[in-house]
Amino acid sequence: MEEMLLETHELTKAYGKRNVVDGVNISVKRGAIYGLIGKNGAGKTTFMKMIAGMIRPTDGTYEYKGFKGGNSEAYGKIGALIEIPAIMPNLNARDNMKLKCIAYNHNDDHFITDTLKLVGLGDTGKKKASKFSLGMKQRLGIALALVGNPDILILDEPINGLDPQGIAEVREVLTRLNQERGITIIISSHILAELAKLATDYAIIDNGRIVEVSTREELERKSRNRMIFKCEDSARAAAVLKEAGYTGFEVGDHETIYVYENTDDAPKMNMKICQAGILVNSFDYEVADLEEYFLNTIRSAAASPVTAEAGKEAAV
């Protein structure tokens, strides 16, 4: 049974009459890399500030599991990088780390050396942080968040504004932290395609509400290339395909079948369905686009209040 690390219950934050975060229920597994995806202003940063203990919820609760002292103990095991990294620009990377370590009563030269090496800043020497690239500053921010040996990292848009190389470097650092140190990572972004290369679980947030959750496997299935058959009876057509030996497909609504494997056989599939006396209205190839999938999910939720309300009950 998978161990849950964090659970939120109807978590809400209001400013004035507006709910910036609106009744969010999610569960985060220990050891996961949990991606929170949403447009700018969707409520990601506010949500992260609440679970990091930086601001109080207006309503609802959140609970960290596995800590005898509850949330109070958990706060001591959280490393957070939210908004701008708290870097002293006139200090080099090592001195920035020393300053943070002193504040945490954790002044360990070996830890500093190992952590800077881990984030790819071990050879920056006396170079001041003000001279760092944006990617280097983000990696230093992650290193600073590791002071205190946290079990949990909460990172708000750590790849925002980075070039492809910078994104790849941050992604490598986070993957190593998760795999080598077992750190659970909660990370936000508005770029689904980048998080798709990193996260194990995902939640899409819009207007403060969770509108969809997926595991990595589910997201890959939903967003991969596929052939779409439109026919008069998808259940009967599916039985025909199964009898013909095809397995890589699923039934959508009563008129739709999605084929993910052997798509080159689409003409043969079409012929077999037609020979069974089932009218096929169309079959089209759809190329996957993660960003389009993300936008379509938000559009669908906005158009369907029922869907948006159901999203509040999501758990990963």
Spatial separation of the C-alpha atoms in residues 306 and 209, rounded to whole Å: 12
Q: Read off the CATH number of the domain in which 256 is found.
A: 3.30.70.100
What is the structure's pLDDT at 74? Answer: 84
**End residue of a domain, out of 220, 237, 270:** 220
What is the structure's pLDDT at 1? Answer: 67
Residues 244 and 269 placed together within one structural domain of the fold: yes
Spatial separation of the C-alpha atoms in residues 261 and 104, rounded to whole Å: 54
Query: Is 11 inside a domain boundary?
Result: yes
What is the structure's pLDDT at 233? Answer: 94
Residues 256 and 202 placed together within one structural domain of the fold: no
Task: Dump pLDDT digits (tens) for 150-172.
Answer: 999 999 999 888 888 888 888 99
Residues 260 and 235 placed together within one structural domain of the fold: yes
Residues 165 and 73 placed together within one structural domain of the fold: yes
Q: Read off the CATH number of the domain in which 61 is found.
A: 3.40.50.300
Query: Is 169 inside a domain boundary?
Result: yes
Residues 63 and 36 placed together within one structural domain of the fold: yes
**End residue of a domain, out of 185, 200, 220:** 220
Query: Is 84 inside a domain boundary?
Result: no
Quick check: 300 pLDDT over 80? no
pLDDT confidence band for 309 (50 / 70 / 90): very low
Task: Dump pLDDT digits (tens) for 65-77.
Answer: 887 667 888 888 8
Residues 70 and 8 placed together within one structural domain of the fold: yes
Residues 157 and 275 placed together within one structural domain of the fold: no
Spatial separation of the C-alpha atoms in residues 257 and 235, rounded to whole Å: 9
Query: Is 123 inside a domain boundary?
Result: no
User: Tokens at residue 202, please?
Assistant: 């995902």
Quick check: 224 pLDDT over 80? no
Domain of residue 270, residue span: 225-286
A 10 A CB-CB count for 278 gives 18
Residues 235 and 212 placed together within one structural domain of the fold: no
Residues 239 and 280 placed together within one structural domain of the fold: yes
Domain count across the chain: 2
What is the structure's pLDDT at 276? Answer: 95
Residues 183 and 59 placed together within one structural domain of the fold: yes
Q: Return the higher-pLDDT residue of 161 and 275.
A: 275
Query: Is 160 inside a domain boundary?
Result: yes
- Region of 140 please: left (phi>0), alpha (psi -120 to 50) or beta: alpha
Torsions phi, psi for 78 (to 5 deg): -110, 130
Residues 216 and 230 placed together within one structural domain of the fold: no
Query: Is 281 inside a domain boundary?
Result: yes
pLDDT confidence band for 175 (50 / 70 / 90): very high
CB 152, CB 77: distance < 8 Å:
yes
Query: Is 251 inside a domain boundary?
Result: yes
What is the structure's pLDDT at 217? Answer: 84
Task: Dump pLDDT digits (tens) for 66-105.
Answer: 876 678 888 888 999 998 888 999 999 999 999 999 988 8
CB contact set of 245 (below 8 Å; sequence gap of 6+): none
Residues 9 and 54 placed together within one structural domain of the fold: yes
Query: Is 236 inside a domain boundary?
Result: yes
